[in-house]
A and B are shown apart, each in its own frame.
Chain A
Amino acid sequence: MIADKTIPDFRYTPTIDQVGVEERASRFTKRSIKAETKLNGLLLTLNMIDLTTLEGKDTDGKVKQLCYKAQHLHDAYPGLPTVAAVCVYPSMVSVAKKAVGDSGIKIASVATAFPSGQASLKVKIDDTKFAVNEGADEIDMVISRGKFLQGEYNYVFDEIATIKEACGTARLKVILETGELVTLDKVRRASDIAMYAGADFIKTSTGKISPAATMPVTLVMLEAIRDFYYKTGKMIAMKPAGGISKSKLALHYLVMLKETLGDAWMNNEWFRFGASSLANDVLMQLEKERTGVYQSSNYFSID
């Protein structure tokens, strides 16, 4: 493959046909995931979760609890994997980093005036550097949606590139906030800008805007990743976030991932679920698979 390093003109990104995307996305949901495939999928889902708390009312205690849960999802079920990462605000990074210790769980921090991104570039850079210095392994930035919708693609590109520089060795997740971009054409364009500007991950949503992640939006982003990979030879990771709270839906996402990008992406280095309530639903399904009966939600810890 000849790697094409030229940066395309983002005014002419590929067009997307919404009807076609929705049809294709619904086709993945027709796959019937059973037996060992289901069990494998559920375990994989747990391992791909970015366990998240992004509340104004977050306290050290809450974050510590979450970090414990990240390592001990449900000790009554032996052999469960841990989640992939814990995602918090920058002010909580040091607490979280200490709490996960050497478990190998990554600490992701939102930054760049999350969730609106309405701050000066300087503030955003400082926000990012602070989180990295506190020990964040991954930075979840938001793009300037206002600038993007105005057609200021160069501004958006430069901003992402600048934040990527501020990240140092931390992996950068670029949140497009697709719920504010509205059309799939724009989702595709924003995905291309983010990837060419240096994103390690592209991510759908902050979780603060509805709609958050949907299968059609995620599919468009996965296809953008595939095209980028074919052009440049570089793998980009994907993170749908918000709105995925049921196991069945998570399995549909895995089918979509497998059939769009293939097995190389089927691990938590290249795919994450941004979710807080998904883990317990998966645990409930796993217990059902193991014991044959559903247990009530009271059997699963909320934090």
Chain B
Amino acid sequence: MFIMAKAIAKKKITTAKSTTVKKVETKAKNITVKLSFDTLHYAPAPESKSSAKIDAQYNLFINGKFVKSQSGQYYDTINPATEEKITSVAEGNAKDVDIAVKAARKAYEGVWGKMPAKERSKYIYRIARMIQERARELSIIETLDGGKPIRESRDVDVPLAANHFFYNAGWADKLSYAFPNKNPQPLGVAGQILPWNFPLLMAAWKIAPALATGNTVVLKPAKTTSLTALKLAEIIQEADLPPGVVNIITGNGSSMGMALVNHPDVNKIAFTGSTDVGKVIQKAIAGTDKKLTLELGGKGANIIFDDAAIDQAVEGIINGIFFNQGHVCCAGSRLFVQESVYPEVLRKLKDRIATLIVGDPLDKNTDIGAINSKQQLDTIQKYISIGKKEGAEIIESTCAMPKKGFFCRPTLFTNLAQSSRLVQEEIFGPVLTIQTFRTDDEVIEKANNTPFGLSAGVWTDKGSKVFNMTTKLRAGVVWANTFNKFDPTSPFGGYKESGFGREGGMHGLAAYLRV
């Protein structure tokens, strides 16, 4: 009877259109039915775009209103996964910067600077709640505009952005407790310049503490990823924040960013981005009384000792370098493995990258999305060919790749010298360099042998070793037995060419206060 049923089934299955069920092989007596779950990848599971409302055109947000730029020009913002245009965004210039700064100054003098702190915090809480309410929309737009997998924008970027507003809202009326006997006072107008890797999160990271401490803001998102900041502007408008308290202006980084930095009526500059630009900014404001925080590049060392929980360490390495396609300033891009476990770690890394799915960022199963721009993809590929030329051994995953868009396979490099350019320079992509070490002292020396000092990771089962390493590694953040963990309560920032000043936690508030 069973066999008969099977015969019917075969017929059914071959006639059914929507299914590609593998034929059920009957091995004489059923039992080991060879059913294939899936051989290469899972069936597509794309997030629907319908809940994201995107206008045909976006203007500058100045003084509580969306206004056309002085130039009247627009630029296209594209989806890096498809290379298709999403919408156009106003191209601002130095005149717009001036208008925005004036609006911010007026709001600071007139309303925001005088407002009781308790009232201020109500607005910030409101923004936090509205981000949560519109989380789905924000994560879809973040993914469309920037190329990061929807899993990450949904589970990391957007919830964390809301958390930064919640956390800082709580501090607004407690600043005198955070800084006792210091009479903390706001600075005035803060000019904030964002990178393209975490557009909404960085906006939240910068706006929330500025507002909580009583400053007003002129924010310039990165040119390729302005949409979620503009969506945040909509939220701010709906939240009824007094006009001019937050102004969001879009356009070219070099011209507008520098206009903001050089504007005489700006009291504070907060910049996250490349070390080169950071140096230019620091030179520009030398001799002025502007306060400055810089959060720049990094080349994080991730160190695995032989007593570590290897499987979990490998998972941490993978997340440390492939999170957000490696477009993370604190990415663990240099791996140091203790010699005795090197073969095991390498084999497990190879196994793990074989299961990573590169593809449509909107697909919920995608692990690695699109590289943010053509320019960045070229940079990454340049480094990959340098690595090959330098004689390093390259290990790439063999996963299926989308035909259109900017994508890069997860890539490992072994057999590298400390002097290799791949080890020395920031690549900002899904490329991991792997080196070995024998002793603790050796690895500390190698890990610190870089112009950067943003992040590091230590993997060991031994608590005392964790403390020894964390005191000796010159990095702003050192994670132990985990990596890439962020929390609004925790300060974040760098040493050396990774910048100075801290964002997040009480330290992050201090950067916006006269104390």
- Contact residues of A with B, CB < 8 Å? 14-17, 19-21, 23-24, 30-41, 43-44, 47, 71-72, 75, 78-82, 84, 102-106, 223, 226, 230, 254, 258-259, 263, 266-269
Contact = CB atoms under 8 A, between A and B. Distances in A.
A79 B36 contact: no
Given A20-B316, A78-B8, A79-B10, A32 B30 contact: no
Contacts of B394: none
B37 A258 contact: yes
B31 A104 contact: yes
A223 B311 contact: yes
A118 to B, nearest CB: 33
A3 to B, nearest CB: 15
A52 B172 CA distance: 60
A21 to B, nearest CB: 6
Given A16-B312, A32-B45, A37 B38 contact: yes
Contacts of B56: none
A80 B5 contact: yes
A30 B364 contact: yes
A95 to B, nearest CB: 20
A269 B32 CA distance: 7
A31 B365 contact: yes
A30 to B, nearest CB: 6
Interface residues of B, number: 51
Given A32-B364, A78-B8, A104-B31, A15 B309 contact: yes
B461 interface: yes
Most central of A33, A102, A269 by chain B CB within 10 Å: A33
Contacts of A21: 311-312
Most central of A20, A41, A47, A104 by chain B CB within 10 Å: A20
Given A41-B37, A79-B13, A103-B29, A24 B19 contact: no
Given A32-B364, A103-B29, A44 B35 contact: yes
B307 interface: yes
B31 A84 contact: yes
A79 B22 CA distance: 12
Contacts of A39: 19, 21
A103 B5 CA distance: 13
B309 A103 contact: no
A32 B42 contact: yes
Contact of B20 (A36, A78, A266): A36
B37 A81 contact: no
Given A105-B31, A266-B36, 14 more contacts: A17-B481, A20-B309, A30-B155, A33-B42, A33-B45, A40-B38, A41-B37, A44-B35, A71-B2, A79-B10, A103-B31, A106-B31, A254-B37, A258-B38
Interface of B: 1-2, 5-6, 8-10, 12-13, 18-22, 24, 27-39, 42-45, 151, 155, 307-313, 315-316, 347, 351, 355, 364-365, 461, 481-482
B307 to A, nearest CB: 7
B130 to A, nearest CB: 26
Closest 3 CB pairs of A and B: A79-B9, A20-B312, A104-B29
Contacts of A72: 1-2
Contacts of A19: 312, 481-482
Given A33-B45, A39-B19, A71-B2, A266 B37 contact: yes
A44 B24 contact: no
B2 A40 contact: no
Contacts of B315: 20, 23-24
B461 A15 contact: yes
Contacts of B30: 81-82, 103-105
A37 B309 contact: no
Nearest to B461: A15
A268 B31 contact: yes
Contacts of A84: 31
B309 A17 contact: yes
B33 to A, nearest CB: 4
Given A34-B43, A40-B38, A106-B31, A259 B13 contact: no
A241 to B, nearest CB: 20
21 contacts: A16-B309, A17-B313, A19-B481, A20-B309, A20-B312, A20-B481, A31-B42, A31-B364, A31-B365, A32-B365, A35-B43, A36-B18, A37-B43, A40-B37, A44-B36, A78-B9, A79-B24, A230-B347, A258-B37, A267-B35, A268-B33
Contacts of B364: 30-32
B99 to A, nearest CB: 44
Contacts of B43: 33-38
Contacts of A30: 151, 155, 364
A37 B44 CA distance: 9
B35 A36 contact: no
A267 B24 CA distance: 13
A23 B18 CA distance: 35
B312 A24 contact: yes
A259 B352 CA distance: 8
Contact of A47 (B28, B35, B38, B311): B35
A78 B12 contact: yes
Given A14-B309, A24-B315, A32-B42, A47 B37 contact: no
Contacts of A78: 5, 8-9, 12
B66 to A, nearest CB: 36
A217 to B, nearest CB: 14
Contact of B21 (A36, A71, A266): A36
A259 B5 contact: no
Nearest to A14: B310
Nearest to A71: B2
Given A17-B312, A34-B43, A72-B2, A82 B481 contact: no
